[in-house]
Chains A and B, each alone.
Chain A
Amino acid sequence: MTVRELCLTEDFKPLALPDGEREIKGVYIGDLLSWVMGRASADDAWITIMSNQNIVAVASLADTACIIVAEDVKLESEITDLALSKGVNILSSDKSIYETAVILSKLL
């Protein structure tokens, strides 16, 4: 499933979608950025509640397919602008991290 296709489902809203055709091949969950940096795999959808600009750098380094900011955490426009300019997809989910993962598990 591509990131754009995921955005068409009711549970996910695009916050920045510069590369919607990215294929999602797995899921990673974590908030400790240094940990995620070393462990998330390329093409994962990464679920987090962190909202610092560093998430864009981590997603870029780990080459994840997209960041999913769960629990309806709001992002400042500078972060979505940064994501657009760096080619990093960010989606939002108003569900808990667990529920978001369960939904993904059914879709993928």
Chain B
Amino acid sequence: MKELSLNILDITENSVKAGASLTEIFIDESDEKLVLTIIDNGCGMTDEVLKTVTDPFYTTRTTRKVGMGLPLLKMEAEQTGGRLSITSKHVSADADNHGTTVCAEFNKNHIDFTPLGDVVSTITTLIQGHPDTDFFYRHSFDVKEVSLDTRELRAVLDDVPLNTFEVIKWIEDNLKEQYLEA
């Protein structure tokens, strides 16, 4: 995709569809590397499904459940000399501890590295589209970091939905401000 933030949106959409009540998005950057990790507590995948998720034909032809998201993310990571790993535990294997972790490593200095793009819009769009599930976002570079936890917002807001215009606007401004200060 044109920007990594669009991949984040796409992969996180899978987490929500898998029934995750919490999806964590971590971006860890150094001078050379960018590591994107998305961890959800959704229903997870069985080993058979896990083997097929980076095969574009499993995803596009048979069920359309997952989309081209993972095959594209894998390609984008690998074309910078990085890698994609996916681990998952299906709800049938462990009813109390299930979910999926997607981790993509990129070499930032490779000429084919896809820029991160407008990650503030991505996070805002996610929360707006899924106000009833929780997201934890943390972007760290060296010692600085930007973070947002909808569980904290929810505790303060009581019953005000997260996709109320004022709340979304606050989230957007807060993230932008954190980025300016970082």
Residues of A within 8 A of B (CB): 32-35, 37, 52-54, 56-58, 60-61, 82, 86
* B68 interface neighbour in A32, A57, A82, Cβ under 8 Å: A57
Q: How far is the CB of B75 from chain A (nearest CB, A)?
A: 5
Segment of B19-27, B56-64, B91-99, B135-143 in the binding face = B56-64
B2 contacts across to A, CB distance below 8 A: 32, 34-35
Given contacts A54-B75, A57-B68, contact A86 B1 (CB under 8 A): no
Residues of B within 8 A of A (CB): 1-2, 6, 56-57, 60-61, 68, 71-72, 75
- The complex places the Cα of A58 from the Cα of B57 at a distance, in Å, of 10
A sample of 18 inter-chain contacts (CB < 8 A) reads A33-B75, A34-B2, A34-B6, A34-B72, A37-B68, A52-B75, A53-B56, A54-B68, A56-B56, A56-B57, A57-B60, A57-B68, A58-B68, A60-B57, A60-B60, A60-B61, A61-B60, A86-B57
Number of A-B contacts (CB under 8 A): 35
- Supply 17 further A-B pairs (C-beta < 8 A) apart from A61-B60, A82-B57: A33-B68, A33-B75, A34-B2, A34-B6, A34-B68, A35-B2, A53-B56, A54-B56, A54-B68, A54-B71, A56-B56, A57-B56, A57-B60, A57-B68, A57-B71, A58-B56, A60-B57
* A54 interface neighbour in B6, B61, B72, Cβ under 8 Å: B72
B61 contacts across to A, CB distance below 8 A: 60
Give A53's nearest chain B residue, CB to CB.
B56
Give B114's nearest chain A residue, CB to CB.
A32
A53 contacts across to B, CB distance below 8 A: 56
- The complex places the Cα of A33 from the Cα of B2 at a distance, in Å, of 9
Q: How far is the CB of A63 from chain B (nearest CB, A)?
A: 12
- The complex places the Cα of A54 from the Cα of B1 at a distance, in Å, of 13
Q: How far is the CB of B115 from chain A (nearest CB, A)?
A: 12
